[in-house]
A = this chain, B = another copy of it.
Amino acid sequence: MPSPVTDADLAFTAELGQQLRVDSVRSSTSAGSGHPTSSMSAADLLAVLVSRHLRYDWDNPGNPGNDHLIFSKGHASPLLYSVFKAVGAVSDEELMDGYRRFGSRLEGHPTPVLPWVDVATGSLGQGLPDGVGVALAGKYLDELPYRVWVLCGDSEMAEGSMWEAFDKASYYKLANLVAILDINRLGQRGPTELGWDIEAYRRRVTAFGARALVIDGHDVAAIDEALAEAGNLSGEQPTVILARTIKGRGFSEVEDREDWHGKPLPAEMAERAVTELGGERHLVVRGPVPDEARPRRQVNGQAEVKLPAYDRGQRVATRKAYGDALAALGARSDVVALDGEVSNSTYAAEFAKAYPERYFEMFIAEQQLVAAAVGLQVRGYRPFASTFAAFFTRAYDFIRMAAISQASICLSGSHAGAEIGADGPSQMALEDLAMMRAVHGSTVLYPSDGTSAAALVAAMADLEGISYLRTTRGGYPVLYDADESFPVGGSKVLRSSGEDQVTLIGAGITLHHCLAAADQLAGDGISARVIDLYSVKPVDTATLSAAAEATGGRLVVAEDHHPEGGLGSAVLDALTGAGHAELSVAHLAVREMPGSGSTPELLDAAGIDAAHIAEAARRLLA
């Protein structure tokens, strides 16, 4: 518990709040952009938090006992960086000369290029869901008494993802999560929906299972009391501090004014602001530090993993192989799994059965599913999150931001493409390869059989960045021996001879159809090379180039995906970069909107089955 507050403490935090305001004004004016007024409303909240409640060893951001501080309202970066100055982590020079400048780590919105920042924010409604993931780790995995403090804006309460976060925080009884809501009533273009209707916020957050503490966000004594109560881990509810604040607080020319969002003060105005705020200060604050007596529970990422072994020819769905391999990976105690209420379809259930203590059911909340994974990896875990591939589209903003967060997370999307059959297009992922390939630094994998799927799941556990596995609904024959290796960035040539006239390229369901097409073509005396392009990004340019060379540039690429941005694009990008001679590419993809039907009917209708692949090959040779 924090020590009883004294008048001197209160006077100091009030001064510190003014310093944070002054520095928010100075840094943004110096940069010529930024959000000073959104920082000023929350300055007192942060002053009290960092000086008296946040347990943080600023000399060692890696201290496992540190509390976590997340700015869900990432545009208040001037405030966050001013806090970093106040604790001595960043110099005044860096703040003034670096903020928002090219090459500086003090970016316009916080990112983990800074050692004290866990996750990138700036797309609103993400910091709190990320914080849920960190808090899950704290309560259920680390079993350490750190708290997760998340500064939220009132505008972002309009994002559904915030309510996914409150819902999961209460479901999982995350007393270690504290949302500090800076209710300054003004958004970018005008008043928020709820303005200063604090009661409306209170009703909503309590209905979602949180404990609400309502305060004047500029009364340092009230803030201190609320933070002390919020930081107490004895309860079973997350806490929301509903702080009524004033945007631009402390500078009368901008206080509570509509037209001052996201604008630095012009230099002469900034000067008046600093004067009104009492001038520059250079207070240094050192708040409480974590109790060193509680070391982190060790997790082991090195355990021996015995992957499932399938027999060649056995029919195994790649989604089932995902579940089997994930359960095997559970031998590594850093591996955790999450799913969006479809674990019996994605086969994440195999892991949940084997390691229930490391499985988190996120129900049908895909944004929170991905955000929780991001939060868990902040604490050093290796999360595997799964749902239908189509439904990862729901979380694209979170996936994009996870890349900016430098997060290493593994995503598995099942039920890819028209292959799924009768359920119809709403359940068919036909955009996921395009979406996932465009994520910075991502790895995109698309196995065709159980053996390669299992091997790739194991590989994902050690990849940096966002990795994505696309799995198929139906069971198809195992193509490889259990000891075959599948390096990321590789491919497999399943058929080849010195006489190859055309190359057939597929992955997932279409690889099986490429093989059948090669058989049909062989009956016509046409020798076809067949490539299993299981690694869509990075892609095996060398093997593709060699095949293009060997087969006169004649390639058939077949994919169960819309024509843009998927397998075909990966092949063209690779070969174009390689500076090739003439290519004749037949690109078979799902070009019309599918309906319901059987798998063979839908693959035929899309023109991506064996008959169409063979026919395309024949046309290239005609």
Within 8 Å CB of A161, what residues of B? 160
Copies of this chain present = 2
Contact status B31-A422, CB under 8 Å: yes
A-B contact pairs, 14 of them (CB 8 A): A104-B595, A108-B424, A111-B426, A122-B424, A158-B167, A160-B365, A200-B207, A390-B400, A391-B397, A396-B396, A396-B397, A569-B573, A576-B585, A582-B582
Query: Which residues of A (9-44) have their CB < 8 Å from a CB of B?
Result: 31-34
Within 8 Å CB of A565, what residues of B? 434, 437-438, 564-565, 569
Within 8 Å CB of A396, what residues of B? 393-394, 396-397, 431, 435
Q: Which residue of B lies closest to A437 (CB)?
A: B564
Within 8 Å CB of A158, what residues of B? 164, 167, 341, 363-365
Contact status B584-A579, CB under 8 Å: yes
Question: A609 to chain B: closest CB distance in Å?
Answer: 13
Q: Which residue of B lies closest to A553 (CB)?
A: B582
**With the chains together, A400 CA to B593 CA distance in Å?**
11
**With the chains together, A107 CA to B418 CA distance in Å?**
13
Interface 9-mer from A240-248, A289-297, A306-314, A596-604 = A596-604
The answer, among B74, B104, B107, B162, for a CB contact under 8 Å with A160, is: B162
A102-B596 contact in complex given A189-B341, A422-B33, A577-B587, C-beta closer than 8 Å:
yes
A103 at the binding interface (Cβ < 8 Å): yes
Q: A: which residues have CB within 8 A of B?
A: 31-34, 74, 100-104, 106-109, 111, 113, 120-125, 155-156, 158-164, 167, 171, 187-189, 192-193, 200, 203-204, 206-208, 341-345, 349, 363-368, 390-391, 393-394, 396-397, 400-401, 403-404, 421-427, 430-431, 434-435, 437-441, 537, 561-566, 568-569, 572-573, 576-577, 579-585, 587, 593, 595-598, 601-602, 605
Residue of A171, A345, A363 most packed against chain B (CB within 10 A):
A363
The answer, among B109, B188, B573, B596, for a CB contact under 8 Å with A424, is: B109
Contact status A187-B425, CB under 8 Å: no
Q: Which residue of B lies closest to A590 (CB)?
A: B440
Contact status A109-B423, CB under 8 Å: yes
Question: A309 to chain B: closest CB distance in Å?
Answer: 27
